[in-house]
Amino acid sequence: MELDRIFLNYFIFGRDSLLSVQDLWRYCVPFDEFRQQYGTIIMNGGTGEYSDNRMLLPYHGYWVYMTGEGELAGLRYKP
């Protein structure tokens, strides 16, 4: 599977940004490049602190762990 670099310039819920691979992704790990540390994981179907209802932040990196190959669709924002 090949993923290109994707930049978000707006806030979006974790579950919405990964909708095209909804059945394949298990968790998403945010990485703060300035602090050089990982954040709290976002779990597919998670609740509370691990909820997939948490926002993905613009200009931040995320590792996405999946159970199989899939194609991550690009996102388009219309204000």
pLDDT of the residue at 72? 80
pLDDT band at 70 (very low <50, low <70, confident <90, very high): confident
- Bridge partners (DSSP) of residue 43 are 27
Distance CA 24, CA 67 (A): 5
**pLDDT at 25 exceeding the cut of 70:** yes
Q: What percentage of residues in the chain have a pLDDT greater than 90? A: 32
Distance CA 3, CA 75 (A): 14
Concatenating the DSSP letter of every residue in 17-56 gives HTGGGTTTEEEEEEEETTTTEE---EETT--GGG-TTSEE
pLDDT band at 11 (very low <50, low <70, confident <90, very high): low
Domain boundaries, the chain: 12-66
Distance CA 77, CA 25 (A): 22
